[in-house]
Amino acid sequence: MQTDPHAPVQWKVNAARAAIVLALGLGWQYAPNQVLDELLWSRPSAIYLQTVAWLINGTLPSSALATLQTVAAGMLIGGGVGIAVGVLAGLSPTSARLMLGPIDALFALPKITLVPLFILWMGIGALQHIVFTALVVFFFFFFATCNGVRGIPAALTNTLVLAGASPLQRITILYLPASFGWITIAMRLALPYAFVAAVSTEVIASTSGLGYLVKGSASVMNSAGMFAAMLALLLLSLLATYLAGVAADRSRWKL
């Protein structure tokens, strides 16, 4: 039976991480008020109690679900559109010349400046959050898919053409599987930004979500609530990123 030679080292690393987290937590909990003002920084015990209270009354699960729905819808819409447009730009030099300039310009624009315009057009409901999140993640999938399609050797495309494959068949048989590595990277990069986009719109103008919970807690100087909502957002983002990685690793399309 073989053993992992790195296991003892990893155990020490994990123990050191746990010790650091414990030390920081204890320092935060028992630091004098002159060092860490409890009104501004709260305490881990207060954050725990606030989290438990929100879990019992359903505030935290409902807010997390609203944010997660926005992220999921934004990823699906923005990712789907980004992949479709990226395939088109990768296959057609003419389309690429027409699209790359405007897309590059929009990509360079700080997206947060568009939120007031989206609010004017769509109000403060879920639609505005989803559209903004989809716009943010679109660029990751577009550039990744476009580069992936462009990197496919022409010989492979010519082989499918000679075999009589239709454009749709070439996309499903060659272009998307060959670009899967790029798309996977785009998905893993886009997920954290999707959470940032969703929470940003919720903080600015919303009636639900973890961002709304952060804003509401800040408005009443509830620092424990702010930290509890941010911790929930951190855990939700980490879990979503992990599950996306697992799904990509188990996909039938391999690198």
Distance CA 24, CA 31 (A): 10
Q: What is the DSSP letter of 206?
A: -
Distance CA 75, CA 179 (A): 18
- 253 pLDDT more than 60: no
1 pLDDT tier (thresholds 50, 70, 90): very low
Closest by CA position to 118, among listed 127, 107, 109: 127
Contact 197, 133 (CB under 8 A): yes
- pLDDT at residue 244, as a whole number: 83
168-204 confidence digits (pLDDT tens) = 888 888 888 888 888 988 998 999 999 999 999 999 9
Tokens coding 193: 């930004």
Range name among 20-34, 41-55, 166-180 with the lowest pLDDT average: 166-180
144-171 confidence digits (pLDDT tens) = 999 989 888 888 877 887 887 788 888 8
Q: Any idea how long the chain is?
A: 255
Distance CA 114, CA 110 (A): 8
- pLDDT at residue 207, as a whole number: 85
Average pLDDT over all residues of the chain: 88
Cβ partners under 8 Å of residue 222, min gap 6: 50
Residue tagged 């057609």 (tokens): 92
111-134 confidence digits (pLDDT tens) = 888 999 999 899 888 899 999 999
54 pLDDT tier (thresholds 50, 70, 90): very high
**Overall fold of domain 46-249:** MetI-like fold (1.10.3720)
70-117 confidence digits (pLDDT tens) = 999 999 999 999 999 999 999 888 888 899 889 999 999 998 889 999
The pTM score is: 0.87
211-248 confidence digits (pLDDT tens) = 999 999 999 999 999 999 999 999 999 998 888 888 77
- pLDDT at residue 135, as a whole number: 96
- pLDDT at residue 4, as a whole number: 56
